[in-house]
Amino acid sequence: MFLPGISPRFGGRRAGWVADTLSAMHTLTMRCPGFVQVVAWAVVALVACVARGQVATPGRVDVTFSVTQTTSVGQSVFVLGDRPELGGGVMSRAVKLTPTAYPLWRGTISLPAGATYTYRFVTRADGPGQTSLATNGTFVSAPVTATAPSLAATPSDVPSKVLALTWGVPRPAMFWRAGGSSGAFTRVDLTDFGPSPNRTGERVWLAWGFMAAAPAGSAYEFYFTAQDGTSLRYPATGTYSTTLDGAWVQDGQQYTYVPASNPGAARRDYNPASVPTIVSPQLGNAARGYRVFLPRGYDQHSMRRYPVLYMHDGQNVFESGSFGSWNAAPTLTNLQALAQMREVIVVGLDNGPNRLTDYLPPTDILTGIGRGDAYLSYIRDTVKPLIDSTYRTIPDASVTGIMGSSMGGVISLYGVWDFTSTFTRGGLLSGAWQTCPNYLNRVRSTPSRAVRMYIDSGDSGTANDGYWPSYNLRDYFVDQAPSRYSLEGSLRHVVGFGQQHNEAAWAQRLPAALAFLYPPSDGRNEILGELFGSQWDVDRDGDVDGDDLATQGAAFPQGSRDLNLDGTVNSADAQTLERHLRRDEARGMAGQR
């Protein structure tokens, strides 16, 4: 909130969920047609699963779906539910389970804590081109409705969504509905929180207290109108959507912080006609091109730092190379503008004349012995220090990613598996897994890593774009109990139906890869942590009123809150709350809202 005498600050505390070591399990057992025994296990595993390679995701829990079912050759068992993680009710997006101990099929999927979902098991033909067919499949269980376990919330957790709009229109209203819903929109008359701190002539309008029962990270769509009967609508057509629990909306873009008045657009920091180069001593001292793409507002937000994603075959990432383009520039621009991914710096690394061996682990031979260790050392020891010293980066391995396609997918797996001290987020698109059998055996024989991975393939063209090798790799990663990696938790697997092994297909699947590797909820949400946090609701009853002032004073210093964000809990915090309540009281007397 922008209270008298309080200016918005950057930094702040992230509102989230406790990631304590928890373990809870419930069993749902039922008898289905054909005497199928269905058992669904819900397993909460956060910190405990990191030891096995899982990456804990705030606000989510792992649910294991298990069923005993015999199948015929060319058939597998899938789970289909009403949540996006379970296929969203679309048969072609049903999630394939793995035959852990046939005829037992199992799969662990990450779901929002506390979310209610309905699912069924289905047998389907599982080959290339078959899983895309909506008519392919036979249900082998009745619908089951369950609720994912809840997690204990910290006192700073917000009890609802929070959205702030800076707009020059008087008295706007917001209309919202849950993501994926086709129902009616709910109206919220926005509260006036005073002049915008960054936009002359505009005011900050706040929606607070909606979607109070929804799990953290739940999606919703929304739009704004003026309350005075004019035809103004924002956006003019369609709706915005977000999964952010706290969002700032400005000029149609969403932020997790208060942006500058007019942030610059995401941009190339190089001239495509004269790409900068860097000498690579690890690869024979040849000069190689690199291309840096900066996120929106990089120049205006001089105090912000960003994760870095390194992408191979840089000639094709932003521009059109010999084989086409990923068209990553507009994809990054749009995803970040709509808060569908975190703001990141992307570095495209041009390939060299020995691309096949550069991208191959030294365990295997193609046109020569792989020298992927030298290539990754080049990124780690030569490129990364240059990028980290030139740009405002977050150099930590926990947010540093690596991504590529075909052989670029192979070297990306090598990067997150054996260079984990540098990379922990890997984009493995259409991996050429047939080129590295020895390395895949190594992966299967070593402990899991605490990393996040995106794996995909098409299902058409030559060798069906490695459909089965990619599925086999996915199955290895999600197999066993407990699962090495939960789907949509620390691993996402996607099939591009009808897509072949080319840049056009990778461009289509790039948004899903980026959104998973760098979700918008990643990092600190300053809108929640400092500006409109639930710290104002001191007694936690859902209202900000005189009771909160009494609680703040009576509980001091235990239980009180740093309401003015000066780093100290003292009597000034109660005075801050009193000023806010007096202002609301004055507005009420004047007939304002």
- The whole-angstrom separation of Cα 159 and Cα 52 is 32
Q: Which residues pair with 493 in a beta bridge?
A: 455
Task: State residue 580's pLDDT score.
Answer: 62
Among the listed residues 555, 544, 504, 107, the one whose alpha carbon sits nearest the alpha carbon of residue 327: 504
Q: Are 425 and 309 in contact (CB under 8 A)?
A: yes
- The whole-angstrom separation of Cα 206 and Cα 192 is 7
Task: State residue 1's pLDDT score.
Answer: 31
State both tokens at 66.
């298990």
Task: State residue 3's pLDDT score.
Answer: 29
Task: State residue 560's pLDDT score.
Answer: 73
Evaluate the CA torsion angle 422, 428, 433, 435 in order and state its sign: negative
Task: State residue 380's pLDDT score.
Answer: 98
Among the listed residues 88, 298, 80, 219, the one whose alpha carbon sits nearest the alpha carbon of residue 515: 219
pLDDT in tens, 346-405: 999 999 999 999 999 999 999 999 999 999 999 999 999 999 999 999 999 999 999 999
- The whole-angstrom separation of Cα 180 and Cα 341 is 19
Q: Count of CB atoms within 10 A of residue 568's CB?
A: 10
Q: Are 405 and 313 in contact (CB under 8 A)?
A: yes
Q: Is the peptide bond before 149 cis (omega within 30 degrees of 0)?
A: no
pLDDT in tens, 90-134: 999 999 999 989 999 999 999 988 889 999 999 999 999 999 999
CA separation (Å) from 557 to 142, 387, 450, 549, 574?
55, 46, 40, 13, 11
Among the listed residues 338, 266, 268, 330, the one whose alpha carbon sits nearest the alpha carbon of residue 298: 266
Task: State residue 192's pLDDT score.
Answer: 85
Contacts of 553 (CB under 8 A, 6+ apart): 574
Task: State residue 17's pLDDT score.
Answer: 19
Q: Kindly give the parts of the chain with pLDDT less than 50.
A: 1-52, 154-158, 533, 565, 584, 586-587, 590-593
φ and ψ at 451, to 5 degrees? Answer: -135, 165
Task: State residue 542's pLDDT score.
Answer: 60
- Domains in the chain (CATH in brackets) are 161-255 (2.60.40), 267-459+499-517 (3.40.50.1820), 544-593 (no CATH)
Residue with tokens 């004073």: 553
Among the listed residues 476, 457, 477, 479, the one whose alpha carbon sits nearest the alpha carbon of residue 467: 457
Task: State residue 157's pLDDT score.
Answer: 46
- The whole-angstrom separation of Cα 538 and Cα 284 is 63
Q: Count of CB atoms within 10 A of residue 557's CB?
A: 10
Residue with tokens 């509980």: 555
Task: State residue 58's pLDDT score.
Answer: 64
